[in-house]
Amino acid sequence: MEIFADILKITIPALIVFFTAWILLRNMIKNDQNKRNQELILQNSRTVTPIKLQAYERIVLFLERISLESLLVRVSSSDMTASQLHSVLLNSIRSEFEHNLSQQIYMSPQAWEVVRNARSNMIKIINSENEKMPANAKGIDLSRQLLEKVMELEKEPTRAAIDYIKGEIGRMI
């Protein structure tokens, strides 16, 4: 019985030391892993945030470029017919959109949906105003009609999208 007591005297303190060391090492390893994960997240945010901001900048530029005032100044000429202007406006919007399609990777799904809706609404405005024009109308008449339509709106679709994106950037920063 004395041997059993001697074994217990040696085993119990050894087990206590073992479990204490095991718990301490486990906690140190967890803390080290958490610290590494936090450093990795911080490093990723330092890399991704500028890219995200560039994507939002490009989308704001896209929205500015497809606003009716900007489009009309850029693509219209005095010798165009309304149908020619209509076609050029739609092609310009589509090509601008295709050029910036990859930016959706860096944007929230809600922001991208707002951008897509703004583009669609601009196309709808152009199409609806073009349908009201007589067959032999000049491009300048369509331009005037489009500008009048924009003035009637409370907020141009592109302006609403830009405001939404500015708000999202504000929340991101």
Instruction: Provide the pLDDT confidence category of residue 41 given band limits of 50, 70 and 90.
Output: confident
For residue 13, what are the contacts with CB-CB under 8 A and spacing of at least 6? none
Query: Backbone phi, then psi, for 81, in 5-degree steps?
Result: -85, 170
49: DSSP letter: H
pLDDT, one tens digit per residue, over 85-94 is 999 999 999 9
**Domain parsing of the chain, residue ranges:** 49-172
User: Other C-beta atoms within 10 Å of 56: how many?
Assistant: 20
Cα distances (angstroms) measured from residue 154 to each of 21, 48, 62, 150, 158: 69, 36, 21, 8, 12
Q: Is the whole-model pTM more than 0.75?
A: yes
> Residue 46 has what pLDDT?
81
> How would DSSP label each residue in 84-116?
HHHHHHHHHHHHHHHHTGGGGGGS-HHHHHHHH
Instruction: Provide the pLDDT confidence category of residue 33 given band limits of 50, 70 and 90.
Output: very high
Q: What is the mean pLDDT of the chain?
A: 92
The stretch 135-148 carries a mean pLDDT of: 93
pLDDT, one tens digit per residue, over 89-113 is 999 999 999 999 999 999 999 999 9
Tokens of residue 130, six digits: 């073009």
pLDDT beyond 90 at 144: yes
The stretch 147-156 carries a mean pLDDT of: 92
Annotate 62-85 with b (16+ C-beta within 10 A) or e (fewer).
Answer: bbebbbbeebbeebbeeebbbebb
